[in-house]
A = this chain, B = another copy of it.
Amino acid sequence: MIDRASGLPAYRQVADELRKKINAGEYRPGDKLPSERVLVDTYQVSRITIREAVGLLRAEGLVSAEHGKGVFIRPPQKVERLSRSRLSRAARSAGQAAFLADAASNRFTPAVEVDIRVEAATTEVAQVLGIGEGDEVLVRERVMSADGQPIQLATSRLPRSITAGTAIEQTDTGPGGTYARLEEAGHTLAHFSETVGARMPTPDEASLLRLGAGTPILVVRRVAVDTEGAAVEVNDMRLAGDRYELAYEFPAD
């Protein structure tokens, strides 16, 4: 099976063979790969070489190993689509914060853990919010769960000058959430600007979001801008890449 003279390392050849069989449907989602000891016999290489091959497939997110049970073909995850147009004023006045609106439309039971603190603005945050470096910012750090499973990490930062004395500094921001409170405080929102990127999670993020190996995260930064052109909130969100996709719609002209 393995061509020692091909120049391609043995573990790559084994990985290529297994990947081909998976893509060809020879192994189906949920199926167990042959055990490492069996693969050692099949390909006539050492166990470490087999483990390196399987490690490649794991890093690709193609399979996942379960201790004591085996290595399984990863079934395609059900992907939730998060439509960004949900951030509407109508929804806010109806008493729905963004995450709760998602919960309603996707029918899951939401739960949010919140940690609130005050920080000095870093250079980067100060620039985005248009405030001075070192100025006080309110930080709301949240872990959002659906049906008990953590699915999103979000860190909002707002100028303390805006939030002081409002419910934004409380755990429960009330009906409509932070954005509704901002508008009550005179900061009518004009538009949102979101940037979307992807990277591998830190170990902390991976364990919080219960991500398997080979699963990247979507990194979203949302900036809320009021009618005076001032940025009033910057929200950094991190979502499991295998469970979420973001949907945007925009006109052609």
Inter-subunit contact A250/B198 (CB<8 Å):
no
Task: Kindly state the separation between the CA atoms of A89 and B221 in the bound complex, as whole angstroms.
Answer: 27
Selected contact of A84 from candidates B79, B179, B250, CB within 8 Å: B250
Indicate whether A193 reaches chain B with its CB closer than 8 angstroms: yes
List chain B residues, Cβ under 8 A from A87.
250, 252
Selected contact of A61 from candidates B19, B79, B200, CB within 8 Å: B200
A176 CB, min distance to chain B CBs, angstroms: 13
List chain B residues, Cβ under 8 A from A81.
195
- Nearest B residue to A81 via CB reads B195
Task: Kindly state the separation between the CA atoms of A224 and B189 in the bound complex, as whole angstroms.
Answer: 29
A35 CB, min distance to chain B CBs, angstroms: 21
Query: Which of A55, A242, A252 has the most C-beta atoms of chain B within 10 angstroms of its own C-beta?
Result: A252
List chain B residues, Cβ under 8 A from A19.
203
- Nearest B residue to A218 via CB reads B198
Inter-subunit contact A216/B216 (CB<8 Å):
yes
A51 CB, min distance to chain B CBs, angstroms: 10
Task: Kindly state the separation between the CA atoms of A137 and B242 in the bound complex, as whole angstroms.
Answer: 29
Indicate whether A199 reaches chain B with its CB closer than 8 angstroms: yes
A105 CB, min distance to chain B CBs, angstroms: 16
Indicate whether A38 reaches chain B with its CB closer than 8 angstroms: no
Selected contact of A252 from candidates B89, B196, B247, CB within 8 Å: B89
List chain B residues, Cβ under 8 A from A215.
200
Chain copies in the assembly?
2
Cβ < 8 Å to B, chain A residues 216-253: 216-218, 224, 241-242, 244-253
Task: Kindly state the separation between the CA atoms of A157 and B5 in the bound complex, as whole angstroms.
Answer: 41
Given contacts A197-B218, A216-B241, contact A250 B85 (CB under 8 A): yes
Indicate whether A192 reaches chain B with its CB closer than 8 angstroms: yes
List chain B residues, Cβ under 8 A from A179.
252
Inter-subunit contact B193/A79 (CB<8 Å):
no
A8 CB, min distance to chain B CBs, angstroms: 12
Q: Mark A58-74, 1 if CB is under 8 A from B, else 0.
A: 01110000000000000
Inter-subunit contact A224/B244 (CB<8 Å):
no
Given contacts A59-B213, A60-B202, A202-B60, contact A196 B245 (CB under 8 A): yes
Inter-subunit contact A61/B197 (CB<8 Å):
no
Cβ < 8 Å to B, chain A residues 78-104: 79, 81, 84-85, 87-90
User: Lowest 8 A-B CB distances belong to which pairs?
Assistant: A216-B216, A198-B198, A198-B241, A189-B252, A197-B245, A89-B253, A198-B216, A61-B200
